[in-house]
Amino acid sequence: MPAPALEIVDLQKRYPNGVEALRGVSIGIQPGDFFGLLGPNGAGKSTLIHCTTGLAQPTGGEIRVFGHDAISDYGEARAAVGLAPQEVNLDQFLTCEETLEFHGGYFGMRKRDRKERAAELLETFSLTAKARERTRALSGGMKRRLILARALMHRPRLLILDEPTAGVDIELRLELWHYVQKINAEGVTILLTTHYLEEADQLCGRIAFIADGQIAAQGTSEDLAARYDVVNLEDAYLALVGRRELSRSHVDGGVTA
Amino acid sequence: MSTWQIRFLSLWRREISRFMKIKKQTLGGPLLETFLYISVFGAALGSRIKELHGIEYIVFVIPGLIMMAFATNAFSNNSSSILQQKFLGAIHDQLSSPASPRELLLAFSLGGFVRGLIVATLTFIVAIVLTNLTVDHVLVLLPSIFLVGFFFANLGVLIGVRAEQFDDVAFAQTFILQPLIFLGGVFYSAALLPEPFETLTKFNPVYYMISLVRYGFVGFTEVNIPLALAALTAATAALFLLNLRLFQRGYKLRS
């Protein structure tokens, strides 16, 4: 049986200021899964991602990426992960092409492979015409595309998308959906965090709710709806955050009654 | 080429590419500054102070200027580059890669080192053309100047990692680094100072660095050369190891 793409066991993270961002989180994502992680702001989603990618240091628990310990065997673990972070963190001194090529280099890709892969991704994300332009000259949507291209540059087996469609227009959002569905079908495992519940509902096979640094529930959308005794994922989420009164079916019912 | 070599060279090339893209600021500015020092101290002061310890004044000053150019550029490059990348979050791209703390530290250190080396080399070439500068002890000069460059490159890394705002970097450069360099004997000989300043100068570590470089160029020294070289080697190694420890712990780099 292959190792899970991501196996997190009893993960804990306490920041030096005493804030407990993660309090014993455990999740398992199988190779090929499209897994959603949903929760309100400050629930611990980004901290979990940062711990997985080496940007934060866990204070307890274990993280394994395709069987490689994210701390003791970080080289292998990180090589398998591509991260598209929530914030636009492009290096403003670099061109689009350099952004991808340097990233490939950080992951040990050889020069010819870097050139070919960068050209392929720039084409895929409609950035070829901007290849030699510095990243600061790009529009917001183009920056988002470049961030996704960068995450894919080294051909990761696990792609982590931290709110990739926050603030992007409908066209780009649909474009990104199509692309990530395509690469998921090709075998790339995906971990997605998002605030758009319809996005999670349509894309993710399995979803976990995280709140206050703990996994509150996980399963398919239907499992989660059943778990909270509601009709859909959105209502399950509202139940999680204690705002059932905002349910659209509830509001509609109230208006028509 | 092995995977770690590709990683390290990519990280290093990125650091060099950063300062090469803003050459006017990172290379042109420091060169002009050094040229102005040579003009002022050579033409203006040099016409009145003919010699120090039997050495033409401008020739006495230039080794210190070369060392100062190397040190300040290596320092400011690394402190600014790291802080800027932390500020923009761009450093996450390197930190989430498989690169080891040692590869990251060496790449950051050597980025500033190369910038300092370029400015120092160009200053040396100008000095050779315009003055009677010679190289008397190349076997002391080369290790001394490289150690000085690597020391300040690592000091820049340390300040960049610790800094939380640009003010922190500016403070270190303006209120610590520049006074130490200016009061370390770039423009004068400590032996000519009245007490207690002569003794105080000997507590300044930069004084020994300038003395080593000056000895390499013009053969004049007021310090014990083997001892100063050993101390500089030890201090550089200690600073590198301190930085390595900080990178391994992820101090102010990983949350």
pLDDT for residue B56 is more than 90: no
Paired with A62 in beta bridges are A9
**A71 touches B at CB < 8 Å:** no
**Residue pair A191/A38 in contact by the 8 Å Cβ criterion:** no
**B92 touches A at CB < 8 Å:** yes
Helix ranges (H only) for A94-163 are: 96-106, 111-124, 140-152
pLDDT at position B235, please?
95
pLDDT at position A120, please?
95
pLDDT at position B1, please?
86
Paired with A83 in beta bridges are A160
Q: Average model confidence (pLDDT) for chain A? A: 90
- Among B6, B18, B88, select the one facing A105 at the smallest CB separation: B6
The Cα–Cα gap between B120 and B187 comes to: 17
**Residue pair B15/B81 in contact by the 8 Å Cβ criterion:** yes
Q: Six-digit token pair at A152?
A: 């894919």
The Cα–Cα gap between B78 and B69 comes to: 14
Backbone phi, psi, residue A129, to 5°: -65, -20
Percent of chain B scored above 70 by pLDDT?
A: 100
Q: Six-digit token pair at A71?
A: 């701390």
pLDDT for residue B242 is more than 90: yes
Those residues with Cβ within 8 angstroms of residue A153's Cβ, 6 or more apart along the chain or in another chain: A82, A100, A103, A104, A107, A109, A114, A117, A118, A121
Q: Six-digit token pair at A185?
A: 């079908």
Q: What angle do CA A88, A94, A100 make, to 5 degrees?
A: 75
The Cα–Cα gap between A3 and A10 comes to: 18
Interfacial B residues in 11-30 facing A (CB < 8 Å): 11, 13-14, 17-18, 21-22
**CA atoms A121, A126, A130, A135: torsion sign:** negative
DSSP structure class, residue B251: T
Residue with the larger pLDDT of the pair A154 and B34: A154
pLDDT for residue B39 is more than 90: no
pLDDT at position A243, please?
80
**B102 touches A at CB < 8 Å:** no
pLDDT at position A256, please?
40
- Cα separation values, B3 from A109, A185, A235, B7, B103, Å: 7, 29, 49, 6, 12
pLDDT at position B194, please?
79
pLDDT at position A250, please?
61
pLDDT at position A252, please?
55
pLDDT digits (tens, 9 = 90+) for B186-224: 887 787 787 888 888 889 999 999 999 999 999 988 899
The Cα–Cα gap between B11 and A46 comes to: 25
Those residues with Cβ within 8 angstroms of residue A141's Cβ, 6 or more apart along the chain or in another chain: A168, A169, A172
pLDDT digits (tens, 9 = 90+) for B67-79: 999 999 999 999 9
Q: What is the 3-class SS of B89-154, one letter each residue?
A: CCHHHHHCCCCCHHHHHHHHHHHHHHHHHHHHHHHHHHHHHHCCCCCCCHHHHHHHHHHHHHHHHH
User: Once rounded to an integer, what is the mean pLDDT over residues A150-157?
Assistant: 96
Q: Residues, chain B, total?
A: 255
pLDDT digits (tens, 9 = 90+) for A186-219: 999 999 998 888 888 888 999 999 988 999 889 9
Residue type, A70: A
Those residues with Cβ within 8 angstroms of residue A170's Cβ, 6 or more apart along the chain or in another chain: none
The reply to whether residue A15 touches residue B90, judged by beta carbons under 8 angstroms, is no
pLDDT at position A27, please?
94
The Cα–Cα gap between A22 and A214 comes to: 6
Residues of B in contact with A90 (CB under 8 A): 88, 90
Percent of chain A scored above 90 by pLDDT?
A: 65
- Among A55, A74, A102, select the one facing B92 at the smallest CB separation: A55
* Cis amide prior to A40 (ω within 30 degrees): no
The Cα–Cα gap between A54 and B247 comes to: 12
pLDDT digits (tens, 9 = 90+) for A20-64: 999 999 999 999 999 999 988 888 999 999 999 999 999 999 999
- Among B3, B99, B254, select the one facing A55 at the smallest CB separation: B254
Distance to chain A for B248, nearest Cα, Å: 11
- Among B6, B7, B89, select the one facing A87 at the smallest CB separation: B89
Query: Based on the number of CB atoms within 10 Å of its own CB, is B118 exposed (0-12), middle (13-18) or buried (19 or more)?
Result: buried
Q: Which of B93, B100, B247 to mutate to test the interface with A (most CBs of A within 10 A)?
A: B93
Residues of B in contact with A93 (CB under 8 A): 17-18, 21-22
Q: What angle, 0 to 180 degrees and rounded to 10, lies between the N-to-C axes of helices B225-249 and B138-162?
A: 30
Residue with the larger pLDDT of the pair B135 and B185: B135
pLDDT for residue A92 is more than 50: yes
CB half-sphere exposure, B226, CA atoms < 13 A: 0
pLDDT at position B126, please?
87
Q: Which of B97, B164, B252 to mutate to test the interface with A (most CBs of A within 10 A)?
A: B97
User: Once rounded to an integer, what is the mean pLDDT over residues B120-143?
Assistant: 91
User: Once rounded to an integer, what is the mean pLDDT over residues B114-130?
Assistant: 92
| SS3 state at A215 | strand
* Burial track B192-203 (b if 16+ CB lie within 10 A, e otherwise): eeeeeeeeebee
pLDDT at position B49, please?
73
Q: Six-digit token pair at B32?
A: 């002009």
